[in-house]
Amino acid sequence: MTGLSANPLTRTKIRQLLTAVGSAPAPDESAPQVAEYDWRDPHYFNEDQLNRLAAIMSQVAARIAGTFTRFYSTEFNVSPMSINQHYADDLPHHIAVDRAYYLTFGPEKGQSCGCIMVPPDTAMAWATRLLGDSEPEGDPERPLSPLEESLLFDLVGAILEGFLTPLQPHDHLGPNDQLGNGQPNLQFDRMEAVCRIVFQVRGVDETSDVTFALPCSRLAPLVGKNTAAIKATPQESKRVLAEHLQEMPVPITARLASTTLSFQEMADLAPGDILLLEKPVDGLVELVVDDRVLYLGHVARSESKYAVSITESRTAIQPATAGGSQ
């Protein structure tokens, strides 16, 4: 390099450099804090729709409380504890199905699309009270007797009826004809959005939970969500996504070579100076995409514009080195 001055940096020179380079603004300490986006949440319902669904579930809770009062002839308080959205593939991690009693439901002709689940200790306590006993006898982890299952089926079926009442104008769903134990047999697509709704049931001397799970699409009419635009098969969704990706613009940088200067040398640069780059004249140009060197080629010309003739594709994508001159 020629023409570099040996004079130290002056205040005026530093001010000119800072003006040319610019400066980053100080971080805004008053910036509002935002919640991290959870990719495990399908985000099928927005916040307003979830609030509307919660209001409807409060009405459902009142119906369920009436069901318990009718069966046990004593006051119960039922309230919705949580409403969560999950991908079907992730749902088992949020529901303890081991030994739980469940009752599936669905359309009259078709596969089951949802279920109500009761923990085994809760099922035992409910059945015992229905028999007129205050405490369960024998092993608390024993399976229910046929009589206890029959009584529990009547109660759970009535609870389910209260839950499905708001859906009847939009979807005719009904329970299956028997209780199950363990893992419910529900045929969800792995990436289907499923809603998990938990109610807390409080009696005079006990508190228990009951859980409902069903596709979010079944609840969509209750909150005014239009599902017409989202009814697509996984294959159709993949095709649309692939087409969209193919149309996305991708910036590509052609990097000739690079070199390193000290701050003093950079400050003393002036028109007419020559920088020697760390690459031979016949060296290849790097094509960089998102800080990765994807292709190598030679400088070329197309009409009146610079061009790069690609000669090599990097199969093992490598990170681009910093400080390149373009």
CB within 8 Å of 13: residues ≥ 6 apart? 267
CB within 8 Å of 226: residues ≥ 6 apart? 220
Same domain, yes or no, for 178 and 81?
yes
Q: Tell me, yes or no, whether 20 lies in a domain.
A: no
118-140 in b/e form (b: 16+ CB < 10 A) is bbbebbbbbbbbbeeeeebeeee
Q: Which helix (H) or strand (E) holds 97?
A: none
Same domain, yes or no, for 269 and 174?
no
Look up the pTM and report it.
0.62
Instruction: Give the pLDDT of residue 116.
Output: 95
Q: Tell me the CATH number at 298.
A: 2.30.330.10
pLDDT digits (tens, 9 = 90+) for 229-288: 555 566 766 776 777 677 778 889 988 888 888 888 888 888 888 888 888 878 888 989
Under the banding of pLDDT at 50, 70 and 90, the label for residue 185 is confident
Q: What is the mean pLDDT of residues 142-168?
A: 93
What token pair was written down for 170?
Answer: 């939009």
Could you say which of 239, 265, 291 is where a domain stops?
239
Same domain, yes or no, for 164 and 127?
yes
Cβ–Cβ under 8 Å, residues 86 and 194? yes
Same domain, yes or no, for 224 and 288?
no
Number of domains in the chain: 2
